[in-house]
Amino acid sequence: MIDTQLDWASFLGNHAMTWHVKPMSWNEGAFIGNGTLGAMIYSEEHRDKRHVLRFVLGRTDVVARRPGGGYPPRVPVGELHLEMEGWLYQPFSMTLDLWNAELRAGITTTAGEIRLSAFVHSRDGVLAIDLQTSEGEKHARAQWYPYHEVDPILKNADGFNLNQYIPEIVTERFERKGVRVGRQSFMPAGAGGCVTAWMQTKEAGSRRIYATIDNQRDEETVNNTVASLLLAGGQPWDAWVQSHRNWWHDYYRQSFVSIPDPIVEGFYWIQIYKLASATRAEGKLMDNQGPWLTTTPWPGLWFNMNVQVAYSPVYTSNRLEIGKSLVRAFSANFDQLIANVPEPFRADSAGIGRSCSYDLVCPVGQETGNLLWVCHNLWRHYKYSMDEALLRDLLYPLLKRAVQYHIHLLQEGQDGKLHLPPTISPEYGSFLQLAVPDAHYDLALLQWGCETLLAIHEMDGFRPNAEIGTDAEDALRRKWRDVLARLTPLPVDETGYMIGRGQPLEFGHRHYSHLMAIFPLHLVNVDNEEERELALRSLRHWLSRDGDLRGFTFSGAASIAATLGLGDEALRYVKSLIHLLKPNTMYREAGPVIESPLGGAEAIQDMLLQSWGEGIRVFPAIPESWQEAVFHDLRAEGAFLVSALRNKGRTAWLRVKSLAGSPCQVRTDFTNPVQAPGEKPVAMHSLGGGWLRLELEAGAEVNLYADHAAAAAGNMGCAQPVAAGKAQQYGYFGGSKPWRLFELPVL
């Protein structure tokens, strides 16, 4: 039996984000959200604003139409300020409780004390603040300011980005049914708008502040926001709070990971919290920063890496519900993806360019491979769920069109091979946007696309939901096979994979667009000595050109190293990423980009469990320092739930549960695995090299042990935390605490 009686509150309590000095910027703030509505909470040091705790509000779908054209960017909507009688002073204590998704603070001011808790309700889309004050702070108040009325002192603290479009905003204030309303209209007329509503109640010595935002501005929207607040405020407080917490408790229990590194473990769980704060199944696509909009040149969706990497942790973490927002967006905008390609190709093709809004209006230019990369995410969602409707109704028809667009671009060279014209390899040369022929990015994605389409056709029982007929489908299969047979090889030189034909990697390159064949596409056979050496040479050369290495450079490098089984190296890359992050685990360049830390979470998963190429790899890239590690109900391709325990540097126990009855091949470090006594026997076949084939029907599971002694012991205590190597490094995130890295005796 698996011991799953985990004390989640205590476990995640070790990783709560903490502040002992007031945060004074977005980079240090505490963030809360429910996938659509969010707030970043921090303060200010200027003497005129030391009495203010800012709740910088955001809603992901509030956008403005620009008069000069271009995609509708997200725009800031305003802030809710807790304005106190005195200055925020010491002691200051603030905690972001991951388990309950709640912020709690104890604030001392020069006039008194304040205790508060705050959360965005997981289901109801309402921000709530529970406020208790001493006598000296009884006049502390909450006040809403639309963005254009926020004091310049605070705006200056956040910084300006002159590339960011912010429309002129006209705000109308009024009250309805005891609820205060701010209706904002973006100018010129018809550019959009939103409604913010807030109210205060008093009960049993507490004041409670409720606020919400909607992305429309008509009367129906006003009435709906008012009704939402009145409904929330009319609920019994304790029951309403518990319903919020219940959602999060169920969410966390979907899988469990524990490793003997408190900083890395804490970072991982904060990213799991961040995922569900940033989007939900019914929410909008994750853009570059989730609900926590601030100054940025990137107030939209970017598809040459950002969206795809942001969703990367949902699959192995067994949180496919979060990934449904990506599935829904591409299903709902299928026709627009067709319209994004030039008119002559729309009969059979589709694509997406670099950046756009939620409507996916994004014509394809010279950066052509982005839709294929999105299809890889959709493929992962299918493989981890085995959802046949997703495969038939969205993935197959969309992938077919994305591949066909590239086939239109292919040209036969004098060598008889099929070549791609100059296209952009994302981020190489940055603003130069260098276009090179036979770019690795596009060639690798095209190869993966053709191979995947053929693999889909070979699936038992697959029937394409298409109107073109069997003969036409047969012709397409012949075409895909021909492309694979004649497609020019990925360009290579003495340093490894090149950017494209005639273009070596000559200077720092933050993107791994020239290494897609290794990761995430897994086209490289890392068990082949020659292919492995090429991949390793490419990785090392890439990181040696350190002129432009960024956060997602190191998340990608970590996953590539993990693919190669290099656990120690993968961990070094993860730790390099963590050093580049802000104290609250957000990441920022010219503006926030949410995908880099989320990609780091996937890299940690890749060290523990990998599934690609029809096989599951257990503890494939464990650092030497992780002698103990455990995970429970991580998900693998084929819709398997996998749990495993590592003890004294070896796998001690493994459980595989089949949800769909798919073929199952598993690689472990077991020599002669023993099935748990008393279980229904499961047929096992050794395939060599540590690989086992397990015969598992849908709903069946098998528990394997390293030896008979371990099997006789039975309960391996799987879902329990492993001992931390450096317990003083718990609580590293939140406010900046770099001294915790160095084991100072005062800790």
Token duo for residue 255: 């899988």
Mean pLDDT (the chain, rounded): 95
3-state secondary structure (DSSP) of residue 310: helix
How far is the C-alpha of 672 from the C-alpha of 674, rounded, in Å? 7
Q: What pLDDT is stored for residue 714 in this prediction? A: 64
* CA angle centred on 28, ends 23 and 30, rounded to 5°: 85
Q: What pLDDT is stored for residue 742 in this prediction? A: 85
Q: What pLDDT is stored for residue 89 in this prediction? A: 85
> What are the CA-CA distances from residue 71 to residues 76, 395, 675, 678 (Å)?
16, 26, 57, 61
pLDDT confidence of 153, banded at 50, 70, 90? Answer: very high
Q: Which fold has domain 629-713?
A: Immunoglobulin-like (2.60.40)
pLDDT of 531 strictly over 60: yes
Longest dimension (CA), the chain: 86
Q: What pLDDT is stored for residue 224 in this prediction? A: 97
pLDDT of 254 strictly over 60: yes
Residue of higher predicted confidence among 310 and 159: 310
Q: Using one digit for the tens of pLDDT, what is the confidence trace for 440-464?
A: 999 999 999 999 999 999 998 888 8
Which of 200-204, 477-481, 613-617 has the weakest average pLDDT? 200-204
Q: What pLDDT is stored for residue 251 in this prediction? A: 98
pLDDT confidence of 687, banded at 50, 70, 90? Answer: very high
Say what percent of the chain tops pLDDT 70: 98
3-state secondary structure (DSSP) of residue 55: strand
pLDDT confidence of 467, banded at 50, 70, 90? Answer: low
* CA angle centred on 162, ends 158 and 165, rounded to 5°: 95
The helix or strand, by DSSP H or E, that contains position 486, with its residue range, turns out to be helix 470-486
pLDDT of 599 strictly over 60: yes
Contacts of 460 (CB under 8 A, 6+ apart): none
Please give the class, per CATH, of domain 17-252: mainly beta
> What are the CA-CA distances from residue 723 to residues 11, 140, 258, 603, 726 (Å)?
11, 44, 9, 22, 9
pLDDT of 747 strictly over 60: no
Q: Start-end ranges of CATH 2.70.98.50 in the chain?
A: 17-252
* 475 alpha carbon, distance to own chain's centre: 38
Q: Using one digit for the tens of pLDDT, what is the confidence trace for 21-33?
A: 999 999 999 999 9
Token duo for residue 492: 């290579």
> What are the CA-CA distances from residue 352 to residues 29, 335, 582, 585, 708 (Å)?
34, 12, 31, 30, 55
Q: Using one digit for the tens of pLDDT, what is the confidence trace for 620-639?
A: 999 999 999 999 999 999 99
Residue with tokens 């493989």: 383
Q: Using one digit for the tens of pLDDT, what is the confidence trace for 261-309?
A: 999 999 999 999 999 999 999 999 999 999 999 999 999 999 999 999 9
Q: What pLDDT is stored for residue 468 in this prediction? A: 65
Token duo for residue 711: 């099997």
- CB-CB contact of 266 with 15 (8 Å): yes
Q: Using one digit for the tens of pLDDT, what is the confidence trace for 320-348?
A: 999 999 999 999 999 999 999 999 999 99
Q: What are phi and psi of 187, to 5 degrees?
A: -100, 150
- CB-CB contact of 277 with 252 (8 Å): no
Q: What are phi and psi of 134, to 5 degrees?
A: -80, 175
Q: Start-end ranges of CATH 2.60.40.1180 in the chain?
A: 629-713
Q: Which fold has domain 302-607?
A: Glycosyltransferase (1.50.10)
Say what percent of the chain tops pLDDT 90: 88
Q: Using one digit for the tens of pLDDT, what is the confidence trace for 1-24?
A: 567 789 999 999 999 999 999 999
Say if strands 615-618 and 664-667 run parallel, antiparallel, or are unpaired: parallel
Q: Which of 584, 597, 618, 616 is nearest to 732 (CA)?
A: 584
Q: What pLDDT is stored for residue 1 in this prediction? A: 58
Q: Using one digit for the tens of pLDDT, what is the confidence trace for 714-732?
A: 655 577 999 987 888 999 9
Q: Start-end ranges of CATH 1.50.10.10 in the chain?
A: 302-607
pLDDT of 211 strictly over 80: yes
